[in-house]
Structure 1
């Protein structure tokens, strides 16, 4: 009955408020991920960093995110979504302050690792949290209009890099990043715990109180709620969590599939986006401001593609969208490999097309991951899945650094094309469709 009451709820002001508050934290997560990319051209000059050292610094944050995604995804199943969200926000704020005082490549690497633990935990837990408030028919659009804040955060990092780094230096990236995160801390107290999580823990009275609050937000403004449509729910849907279930029954194939999609999409996109400003500066010898402007352009186009995906994915479906995106992305990647990436404009145009196409997968995988698991496994399943995002993201920059140093930029794009083909094949053979289906029906 509780699920039926949640499924009938329209998108209310309260749900919009929840989306905005969590969105602010996610915005900072995205900003933090890319801030190092726009600080890096200045750091290379100041600290005399080699391409390999640049790759290791960029990757350190992603390694930390891998740790955070796994551990805090597990913890969110035990203690609740909100407790974990608050701790992770405090953690990545404190490490953002620490980055301001970094004095060498090694110190920045250490601070970025610990900051990554916080940022790696925030988005998968937030994704499980938001998914659990919204009905099946509205879930894709509602969630992705929240998740689009992630590429907006990436774009904002580019804007700050372009306008402030040439004037105030690399520390400006981290100072500006403190603002949205600090705002999130008091707003956190305006959010209720997930009713689905509460019910899964047997805290039925508390879950009922949350749903009743959401219902009253509708009725007191004159809204009329339809009668709840009760569907049979497998008793396992409210069972206690056991992470080993991720590798049993129907969830084994889903787990391996989503891991592969995370790795493929993020190895390419984060491998490129974090390296492009440095590439323009060090290989093509562009002025610092021009290098940062080119990097921002790629992020901005990614935002537009993400918005289009958010508006259309409930109509197109997750599986066909992902298949088309992976295979389409191979075309400009192969063109870059064939042409050799011989000019900055060539790289800007073709790499931006690749990034925009794959960004529609990258930012919507949190939606898809959360749909593949029941409440008892949603946070840990999404967390472990997104851990492979971090693995792919850490491998990508290191791969770019070493391939560029040993073979040249042409082979970077050839390797990324091969990864995109693998992603397309995995999606075609193994992915399932989830659009328009109730979470408890998808995942007993």
Structure 2
């Protein structure tokens, strides 16, 4: 048996021990949570063609239903931020999962565009509220040598969940009807929520910052390292300084973090603007280049496949190099890849290569933003910081497809459309470069103040 001192830095403790089976359980659970979130958030898009036929409604009439779901995602993230610190991240995660599970089941009863829109709005609120908590939970149980990679690993769940939703719809809808998609999407989060209630801990830094009883913190640490003997009177501390008078929104908007927060919001907003514009219109744009419907859909999937590769790659790089530089470079590479798509002249093989490269950069960078935000904020503002970045950034996902529709309506050339997308992706890169420079300048000023 090894022993530890009476004052214990919980992050140092995690850093010094191997990644345990208990941490693997947290990783897998958070991965499943985000995968199920993505499934429920995107499910409506896969059943619209069936509802158009069954309800006899014009396809364009479903536009507001799709938009209100994204609006729910944004509002859910914004509302969840303060709740994470007023209650606890675990409470909000479980409550959010139960909400979107019940609302997914409720969607099965929809018989009009209005009722469908209401159910999707509240589903979106639940989905938007749950995701940031998963990133916080994983980050606070990850050794710093691999924290970005692990947070990015659970973020890949969003891409897997989206793909699983499409496969489920293709397999289930023809024989069991469109409601089967939402039956699965309702049962899974409720089951996972019950499991998390019984088996998952609170985020570790949150427990220390909130002054949880020492025996509860010690019990969690013993799950990570069973051979560590922790005294009953151990005082647990965090690696970063905490402002006892501030938490949640007050931390995110404080003088120390305000500029960085705005730049993170801007980077995520511009990135989601570009990503959702592409997801919504890329099949149409590729068809305009001469591709068949099937080939245009397959090429669009490469945006997601590239994202899986990029998310793991950039997570690995972020643990070894400056995080801002890595993600800013990823956005820049993604922007160039997307721009090159518009420069092709009917060569679909090269279009596919460029879309894949653009997906590595753009999708991989977006999936890495959670890791960036988790590392930027202290425990007292981490969950809110991640939530608000997601919430404000999601509005880009509402605006992007609308701008794409206006460009196509006004006769923009293919090259012009992809150039506009590239500009917004490069704006994300620029915001992170500025954020990195600002952080270095603040650190330098702090060191000068201390030496003075």
TM-score normalised by the shorter chain: which range applies?
Answer: 0.7 to 0.9
Counterpart of 1:370 (choices 370, 374, 382) is 374
Counterpart of 1:209 (choices 206, 216, 229) is 216
The offset of 1:135, in angstroms, is 3.0
CA 1:180–1:408 in 2, change beyond 3 Å: closer, same or farther? farther
- 24-33 or 118-127: which moved more? 24-33
Counterpart of 1:147 (choices 147, 155, 158) is 155
Distance 1:168 1:232 in 2: 52
The TM-score, its normalising length taken from structure 2, stands at 0.82
2:406 is aligned to 402
Contact (CA 8 Å) 1:238, 1:375: kept in 2 or not? no
Stretches of structure 1 lacking an aligned partner (at least 5 in a row)? 435-440
Counterpart of 2:94 (choices 79, 82, 86) is 86
The offset of 1:296, in angstroms, is 4.0
- 138-147 or 272-281: which moved more? 272-281
Aligned residues: 426
The offset of 1:349, in angstroms, is 4.8
Contact (CA 8 Å) 1:57, 1:108: kept in 2 or not? yes
Matched, 1:218 2:219: no
Bigger radius of gyration: 2
Contact (CA 8 Å) 2:73, 2:394: kept in 1 or not? yes
Contact (CA 8 Å) 2:9, 2:238: kept in 1 or not? no
The offset of 1:240, in angstroms, is 4.3
Distance 2:269 2:299 in 1: 25
Q: CA RMSD, aligned part only?
A: 3.5
Distance 1:232 1:94 in 2: 37
Distance 1:302 1:376 in 2: 31
Distance 1:38 1:343 in 2: 29
Alignment of 1:28-39 (within 5 A): 28-39=36-47
CA 1:281–1:181 in 2, change beyond 3 Å: closer, same or farther? farther
Contact (CA 8 Å) 1:318, 1:433: kept in 2 or not? no
Alignment of 1:262-301 (within 5 A): 262-276=268-282, 286=292, 293-301=298-306
2:333 is aligned to 328
2:130 is aligned to 122
Alignment of 1:241-252 (within 5 A): 241=247, 243-252=249-258
Q: Structure with the greater relative contact order (CA < 8 A, sep ≥ 6): 1 or 2?
A: 1
Contact (CA 8 Å) 1:29, 1:123: kept in 2 or not? yes
Counterpart of 2:311 (choices 293, 303, 306) is 306
Stretches of structure 2 lacking an aligned partner (at least 5 in a row)? 1-7, 440-445, 447-452
DSSP-derived class of the 2:278 partner: helix
Distance 2:169 2:256 in 1: 45
DSSP-derived class of the 1:351 partner: helix
CA 1:406–1:54 in 2, change beyond 3 Å: closer, same or farther? farther
Distance 1:194 1:276 in 2: 39
CA 1:203–1:259 in 2, change beyond 3 Å: closer, same or farther? same
- 3-12 or 147-156: which moved more? 3-12
The TM-score, its normalising length taken from structure 1, stands at 0.83
